[in-house]
């Protein structure tokens, strides 16, 4: 069964610190991996999309890495800001010929001043 | 501004009373999808549409209907809502199937449904 597991479930860090969120998946055959940011009361917003051949992608202070061999991805946030407080969702796509996205349950990140 | 608009944002209703949640996108996207989000579970797909008049079941389609008569609109219909359909619902659109393309999905801001 295709699964996406994220860790930690929740994380609290001080403003200005860095943090790394983890995503492990068992989805196969792999097509792409996405990271989304979901603010409270809002829909998810795309941060990065990576295919099999990409092992790193950045979007401002957000950097995602992908190791397709170990089926692991991480999202690194640099110099965190209060506005980074949100849930971060990892989504993996399996290529069955139609859409098959498997969503993780997310990591709830809280930045405190 | 490019956006996906859902209405209503909040709804409390009773078991069995038919309801429709509308979804509209202004980006000329071919692909649209409905998800539900429940505590402790990831987003789960209800239905999706590859293009006008083309719809298909996702992972949890029971109790729901959809239609795609125009490219921009993709309403979600609950013919006879039940309490287990109490959830947070999201509509999403993308230029093409995100399953095997690198196109980002754009999500609406959600509709919180409570079925009593």
pLDDT tens figures, B84-113: 999 999 999 999 888 777 889 999 999 999
Nearest to A98 among B4, B41, B97 (CB): B97
Give chain B's radius of gyration (CA, Å).
13
Query: A14 is written with which tokens?
Result: 């001080």
Cβ-defined contact of B97 to A44 (cutoff 8 Å) = no
Rounded percentage of chain A residues whose pLDDT exceeds 90: 77
Q: Which stretches within B9-103 are classed as H helix?
A: none
For residue B102, list chain A residues with Cβ-Cβ distance below 8 A: 32, 49, 51
Cα(B10)–Cα(B8) distance, integer angstroms? 5
How would residue A31 be classed by pLDDT, with cut points 50, 70 and 90?
confident
Distance from CA of B72 to the nearest CA of A (A): 18
């Amino acid at each position: 069964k295709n699964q996406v597991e994220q860790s930690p479930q929740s994380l609290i860090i001080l403003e200005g610190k860095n943090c790394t969120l983890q995503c492990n998946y068992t989805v196969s055959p792999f097509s792409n991996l996405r990271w989304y940011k979901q603010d409270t009361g809002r829909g998810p917003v795309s941060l990065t999309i990576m295919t099999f051949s990409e092992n790193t992608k950045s979007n401002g202070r957000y950097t995602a890495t992908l190791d397709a061999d170990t089926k692991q991805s991480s999202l690194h946030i640099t110099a965190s800001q209060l506005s980074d407080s949100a849930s971060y969702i990892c989504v993996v796509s399996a290529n069955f010929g139609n859409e098959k996205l498997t969503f993780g349950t997310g990591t709830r990140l809280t930045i405190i001043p | 501004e490019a956006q996906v608009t859902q209405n209503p944002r909040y709804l409390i209703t009773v078991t069995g009373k038919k309801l429709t949640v509308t979804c509209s996108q202004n980006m000329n996207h071919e692909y649209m999808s409905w998800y539900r989000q429940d505590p402790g579970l990831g987003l789960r797909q209800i239905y999706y549409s590859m293009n006008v008049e083309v719809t298909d079941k996702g992972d949890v389609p029971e109790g729901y209907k959809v239609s795609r008569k125009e490219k921009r609109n993709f309403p979600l219909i609950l013919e006879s809502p039940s309490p287990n359909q109490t959830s947070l619902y999201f509509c999403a659109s993308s230029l093409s199937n995100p399953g095997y393309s690198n196109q980002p999905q754009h999500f609406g801001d959600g509709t919180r449904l409570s079925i009593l």
